[in-house]
Amino acid sequence: MPPPEHHRSGRAGWLRAAVLGANDGVVSIAGLVVGVAAAGAEPTVVLASGVAGTVAGAFSMAAGEYVSVHSQADTERADLALEREGLRDHPTRELEELTDIYRERGLDPELARRVAEELTAHDALGAHARDELGYHELRQPRPLQAAFASSAAFIAGAALPIVTAVLAPHAHVAGITTASTLVGLSLTGATAAWLGGAPLLRGAMRVVFWGAAAMLASGLIGNLFDVAA
Is 65:18 a contact under the CB 8 Å cutoff? no
Last residue of one domain, picked from the residues 115, 139, 163: 139
- The alpha-helical segments, DSSP class H, found in 105-172 are 109-131, 143-167
> How many domains in the chain?
2
CA distance 207 to 198: 14
Count of positions (residues) in the chain: 229
User: What's the confidence (pLDDT) of residue 58?
Assistant: 93
Last residue of one domain, picked from the residues 91, 119, 139: 139
Q: 42-83: per-residue pLDDT in tens? A: 888 888 999 999 999 999 989 988 998 888 888 888 888 988
Mean pLDDT throughout 161-177? 86
Residue 229 lies in a domain: no
- On whether the pTM is more than 0.95, the answer is no
Cβ neighbours around 105 below 10 Å, total? 10
Q: Are residue 135 and residue 148 in the same domain, yes or no?
A: no
Residue 73 lies in a domain: no
CA distance 113 to 217: 60
- The whole domain housing 199 covers 11-66+144-224
Is 5:192 a contact under the CB 8 Å cutoff? no
Residue 216 lies in a domain: yes
